[in-house]
Homo-oligomer: A and B are copies of this chain.
Amino acid sequence: MTDVRGMNIHSVVNAALEAPGKRDAILDAALSLFAERGFHGTAVPLVAERAKVGAGTVYRYFESKEALVNVLFRREKGRFLQLLTANLPFTAAPREQFRELWRRMRRFAEENPEAGMFLELHHHAPYLDAESRELEARGMELFYAFIRDAQAREVLKPAAPEVLAAIVHGAFTGVAKAALAGQLGGADDPFAQAEACMWEAVRL
């Protein structure tokens, strides 16, 4: 699709116009629909319609609806982890790292609210396959590593890393959901407020 060799001027121009390619169009359509109505609540033809492709086309790109949701999960989880880990200031003080992690999660949630909802909604769905679960687990390890390191430096409370990760992740999710639902109407920079609170929650 992105290989230009052998394409004449017309196909190059067309390719530029139809930009994302059908596969991505399907994934994008599925993302917003699954986030909104859930996996079982979304019919494949609806995904196709939103992606502006024929219903059969979905099955040219994905073996089944289950395969589609798994590919989508890995794409979004991968993007999330990418954003979180790229050029992270490993040498910075834990306080600064925490702030940075929170800032990146916030950016992801604000720029891709549907992706955030989708990932949250499909966390432990029974139709996620082994590969998806593995990616999920690897993502959590990232947090655990940061926590263990900061605990070793005696900056974080000596609670179980899984517990600290759970409350920070949970609190972030709570704020993000509330923000998305418009429940934080007038609040002044809720993400920053929440970040400050959660640092108090975990710091020694």
Contacts and interface: CB of A to CB of B under 8 A. Distances in A.
B181 A170 contact: no
Interface string A147-164: 000000000010110111
Given A38-B38, A178-B162, A184-B160, A201 B190 contact: no
Interface in A23-55: 36-41
Given A167-B174, A173-B170, A159 B201 contact: no
A124 B40 contact: no
Contacts of A203: 200
Given A169-B174, A174-B173, A163 B181 contact: no
Interface in A125-151: 126, 140
A5 to B, nearest CB: 20
Contact of A159 (B39, B41, B164, B197): B197
A202 B193 contact: no
Going nearest first, the 5 A-B pairs with the smallest beta carbon separation are A170-B174, A40-B40, A160-B187, A201-B201, A167-B171
A118 to B, nearest CB: 14
Interface residues on A, range: 35 or more
Contacts of A163: 175, 178, 184, 187, 190, 193-194, 197
A188 interface: yes
Nearest to A199: B201
Contacts of A80: none
A172 interface: yes
A186 interface: yes
Contact of A201 (B123, B126, B171, B184): B171
Contacts of A194: 159, 163, 166-167
B41 A197 contact: no
Contact of A40 (B41, B173, B177, B181): B41
A183 interface: yes
A37 B193 CA distance: 35
